C-alpha cells in the first residue's frame, strides 16, 4: 500500500489564488495547502470574483479536507446562482483533489466508482464578426475533422442586430444592446476592466430579464434565423448532433415561435431560452415544441434542478461544476435527472482544473450525454497543468485520468505566469488578511 499521507491528521493551513486571462476566458485558480505538504487545486468560474472564495477561508482553516461533505454543508449557504456559486464550488473540488491525493485514489473512485472510461466531448464553436450560416457550418466541419462527434454553436438575436426589420423593441433599446455588445467584443481575453464594470451599470439590457425587455422577433427575423440553421446543416449534414446557445432576451412566446421553426433541423437542444427560475415558462416552451429544451449552467444546488425536472420543463439539463456546488452536488443532480428520464450534458468553459473535475464526475454518473469543450482555439490550454495528455481529447473523447485526485501532477508555473490577468496581478500571493473573517453563520435561532 502506497500511503500518500496520514489522512486523519490532515489539516487545511492556507488558501491562495492566481488569475489567468484567456483560458478561454478569465479564470481564477485556487490552491488549498495543508500541514502535510499536500495541496489541492480548484477553480473559481469565469467572471466570478475570488472574493466569493476568500470570504470562506477562515471557515475552512484547520478543517480536515477529507471531510468534503461536512465542509460543503458548512459553506454552501454562502453560494448562489450563476457566478455567485463560484467560491463554494471551487473550494469543493479542491477538497476532493486533496482527499484523492491523501488516499491515493482518483476523484471518480471517491464518488462511487466509474460507469465509463472516457467522456464524450461536444465542441462549442464561435465565428467572430458578421458571417453566414455557411461560415458557421465550415467552422463546425473543421471540428468534425478533428474528431468531435457532437457540436454546438451560438444562435440568437445577436445575428439580427444589424438587420433592419428583424427585431421589434421600444425605440432606442436595440441601439443600447448594440453598444453593450460592441463593448464586450472589445474586451480582449475576458479581462474585466473598470470601463466594463461601468458599462454593466449603464446598460439596462444587462439587468433586464427576458420577459421584460419588450423585444420581439419579426417574421423576417425568424426567416433569417431559419435560413442560417439550414445553411449550417447543408454543410455539416443531419447526422451529427448540433445544439444551440445564447438566444437572447425575448419572451417565451417568441421562444416558442423560434423553436417551432427549428423542428426540421434535428437540433440536439435549444439552450437557456428563458431565465432558469421561470419554471412555468419552461413547461410552456417544452410542451410547445419537439425540439429538446435545455438549461442549467446558472443553477446553484440540486434543488433548483429538481424543481425544473419534476415540473417537466426540460429535456436536457446543463449543470456547470463551478456553479452548481461542485462534484458531489453535480452527481446528485445527475441522479435526479437520471431517475426522471432527463439527459445530462455538463457545461464546461474553464481551465483543465475544472475540466478534469468534471470528467471524473461525468465518469461517476449513471448517465452522461456529453461534456462541453470550449478551448480548442487556445493552444496553451492543456499546458496550464502538468501530467496530462496534450491534446487532452482524442477522437472526440477525454479519457478518465487514473492519477490521484483530479488527475494531474501540478500547475505549469511558466505558462501561467505568461497569462496572468494584467488587471489582477499576483501569483499565489498571501491571503492572510482573510484568516480571521468572522460572522455568526448559524441560520437558525
What's CA 36's distance to the chain center, in Å?
Answer: 32
Torsion angle, CA of 171/176/178/180, rounded to 10 degrees? -170
- How many degrees, rounded to 5, is the angle at CA 38 between CA 352 and CA 388? 30
**For the domain 7-105+411-434, what is the CATH superfamily, name and number?**
Enolase-like, N-terminal domain (3.30.390.10)
Are 284 and 260 a contacting pair, CB within 8 Å?
no
- Write out residues in the chain with pLDDT < 50, as ranges: 1-3, 185, 187-192, 194, 196-197, 199, 201-202
Q: What is the pLDDT of residues 181-223, one digit of tens each?
A: 665 545 434 444 545 445 454 455 557 888 888 999 999 999 9
Architecture of the domain whose range is 118-410 = Alpha-Beta Barrel (3.20)
User: How many beta carbons lie within 10 A of that of residue 306, not counting itself?
Assistant: 16
**Is 29 exposed, middle or buried, given 0-12, 13-18 or 19+ CB atoms closer than 10 A?**
buried
> Residue written as cell 433541423?
265
Alpha-carbon span 167 to 219, nearest angstrom: 9
Q: Could you tell me the end-to-end alpha-carbon distance of the chain, in angstroms, rounded to an integer?
A: 47
SS (H, E, C) the chain: CCCCCCHHHCCEEEEEEEEECCCCCCEEEEEEEECCCCEEEEEECCCCCCHHHHCCHHHHCCCCCCCHHHHHHHHHHHCCCHHHHHHHHHHHHHHHHHHHHHHCCEHHHHCCCCCCCEEEEEEEECCCCCCCHHHHHHHHHHHHHCCCCCEEEECCHHHHCCCCCCEECCCCHHHHHHHHHHHHHCCHHHCCCHHHHHHHHHCHHHCCCHHHCCCEECHHHHHHHHHHHHHHHHHHCCCCCEEEECCCCCCHHHHHHHHHHHHHHCEEEEECCCCCCCHHHHHHHHCCCCCCEEECCCCCCHHHHHHHHHHCCCCEECCECCCCCCHHHHHHHHHHHHHCCCEEEEECCCCHHHHHHHHHHHHHCCCCCEEEECCCCCCCHHHHEECCCCCCEECCEEECCCCCECCCCEECHHHHHHCECCCCCCECCCCHHHCCCCCCCCCCC
Per-residue model confidence (pLDDT) at position 157: 93
Number of Cα atoms under 13 Å in the Cβ half of residue 47: 14
Q: Which residues pair with 15 in a beta bridge?
A: 32
Residue 73 grid cell:
454543508
Per-residue model confidence (pLDDT) at position 48: 82
Per-residue model confidence (pLDDT) at position 227: 98
User: How many beta carbons lie within 10 A of that of residue 428, not counting itself?
Assistant: 18
Per-residue model confidence (pLDDT) at position 311: 98
Report phi then psi at 171, rounded to 5. Answer: -55, 130
Per-residue model confidence (pLDDT) at position 240: 98
Per-domain residue ranges of the chain: 7-105+411-434, 118-410
Alpha-carbon span 274 to 282, nearest angstrom: 7
Amino acid at each position: 500500500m502506497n500511503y500518500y499521507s496520514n489522512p486523519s491528521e490532515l489539516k487545511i493551513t492556507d488558501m491562495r489564488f492566481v488569475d489567468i486571462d484567456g483560458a478561454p476566458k478569465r479564470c481564477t485558480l485556487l490552491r488549498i495547502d495543508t500541514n502535510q505538504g499536500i495541496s489541492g487545486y480548484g477553480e473559481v468560474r469565469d467572471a466570478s470574483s475570488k472574493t466569493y472564495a476568500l470570504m470562506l477561508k477562515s471557515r475552512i482553516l484547520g478543517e480536515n479536507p477529507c471531510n468534503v461533505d461536512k465542509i460543503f454543508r458548512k459553506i454552501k449557504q454562502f453560494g448562489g446562482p450563476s457566478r455567485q456559486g463560484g467560491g463554494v464550488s471551487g473550494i469543493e473540488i479542491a477538497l476532493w483533489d486533496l482527499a484523492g491525493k491523501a488516499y491515493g485514489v482518483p476523484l471518480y473512485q471517491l464518488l462511487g466508482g466509474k460507469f465509463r472510461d472516457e467522456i464524450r466531448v461536444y465542441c462549442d464553436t464561435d465565428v467572430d464578426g458578421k458571417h453566414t450560416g455557411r461560415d458557421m457550418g465550415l467552422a463546425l466541419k473543421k471540428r468534425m475533422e478533428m474528431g468531435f462527434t457532437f457540436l454546438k454553436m451560438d444562435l440568437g438575436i445577436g445575428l439580427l442586430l444589424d438587420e433592419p426589420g428583424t427585431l421589434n423593441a421600444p425605440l432606442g433599446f436595440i441601439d443600447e444592446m448594440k453598444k453593450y455588445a460592441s463593448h464586450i467584443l472589445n474586451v480582449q481575453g475576458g479581462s474585466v476592466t473598470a470601463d466594463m464594470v461601468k458599462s454593466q451599470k449603464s446598460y439596462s439590457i444587462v439587468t433586464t430579464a427576458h420577459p421584460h425587455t419588450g423585444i420581439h422577433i419579426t417574421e423576417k427575423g425568424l426567416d433569417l434565423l431559419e435560413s442560417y440553421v439550414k445553411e449550417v446543416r447543408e454543410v455539416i449534414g443531419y447526422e451529427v448532433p448540433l445544439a444551440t446557445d445564447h438566444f437572447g432576451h425575448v419572451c417565451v412566446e417568441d421562444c416558442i415561435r423560434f423553436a417551432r421553426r427549428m423542428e426540421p433541423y434535428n437540433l440536439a437542444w435549444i439552450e437557456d431560452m428563458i431565465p432558469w427560475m421561470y419554471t412555468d415558462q419552461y413547461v410552456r416552451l417544452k410542451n410547445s415544441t419537439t425540439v429538446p429544451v435545455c438549461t442549467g449552467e446558472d443553477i446553484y444546488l440540486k434543488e433548483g434542478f429538481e424543481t425544473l425536472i419534476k415540473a417537466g420543463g426540460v429535456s436536457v439539463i446543463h449543470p456547470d461544476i463551478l456553479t452548481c456546488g461542485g462534484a458531489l452536488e453535480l452527481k446528485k443532480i445527475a441522479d435526479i435527472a437520471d431517475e426522471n428520464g432527463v439527459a445530462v450534458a455538463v457545461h464546461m468553459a474553464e481551465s483543465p482544473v475544472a475540466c478534469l473535475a468534471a470528467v471524473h464526475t461525468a465518469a461517476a454518473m449513471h448517465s452522461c450525454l456529453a461534456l462541453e469543450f470550449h478551448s480548442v482555439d487556445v493552444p496553451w490550454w492543456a499546458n496550464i497543468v502538468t501530467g496530462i495528455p496534450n491534446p487532452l481529447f482524442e477522437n472526440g473523447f477525454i479519457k478518465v485520468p487514473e492519477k490521484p485526485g483530479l488527475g494531474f501532477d501540478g500547475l505549469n508555473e511558466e505558462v501561467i505566469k505568461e497569462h496572468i490577468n494584467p488587471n489582477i496581478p499576483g501569483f499565489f500571493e498571501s491571503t492572510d488578511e482573510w484568516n480571521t473573517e468572522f460572522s455568526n453563520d448559524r441560520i437558525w435561532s
